[in-house]
């Protein structure tokens, strides 16, 4: 997607999706691209893979060893889980403020 709002603001939403799904099962780049597309977020692999790598570098995800880059799986770490817990509260608060029910 070429809308600049995607990178600027939606980047955070994509990361929340990733954290949430990685907390439930190992996630793969391709699977994640499809998952985001189902929510109407058309993200390119060139955007997603660096996000996954960066989240792993920050200690929120752990990459499964070896395999090709495109087949690398990611799981949430305890640090990621703690972050997700905080973010869940913050997102609920924001949702409430934005007029959600
Ligand atoms: Zn999702």
Q: If you average pLDDT over residues 18-23, what whole number do you get?
A: 98
Please tell me the distance between residue 87's alpha carbon and the centre of ligand 1 in angstroms.
14
pLDDT score for 68: 66
User: What backbone phi and psi angles, to 5 degrees, belong to 27?
Assistant: -115, 145
Q: Are 28 and 49 in contact (CB under 8 A)?
A: no
Q: How far apart are CA 37 and CA 18, in angstroms?
A: 13
Give the least confident one: 1-5, 11-15, 16-20, 93-97: 1-5
Q: Is the pLDDT of residue 71 over 80?
A: no
Gap between the terminal Cα atoms of the chain: 29
Domains of the chain in sequence order: 4-97 (1.10.10.10)
Please tell me the distance between residue 41's alpha carbon and the centre of ligand 1 in angstroms.
10
Q: Is the pLDDT of residue 86 over 90?
A: yes
């Amino acid at each position: 997607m070429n809308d600049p709002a995607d990178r600027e603001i939606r980047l955070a939403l994509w990361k929340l999706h990733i954290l949430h799904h990685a907390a439930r099962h190992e996630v793969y780049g391709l699977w994640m691209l499809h998952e985001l597309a189902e929510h109407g977020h058309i993200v390119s692999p060139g955007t997603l893979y660096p996000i996954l790598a960066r989240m792993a570098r920050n200690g929120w995800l752990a990459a499964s060893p070896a395999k090709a880059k495109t087949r690398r799986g990611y799981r949430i770490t305890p640090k990621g889980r703690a972050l997700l817990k905080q973010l869940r509260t913050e997102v609920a608060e924001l949702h409430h403020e934005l007029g959600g029910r």
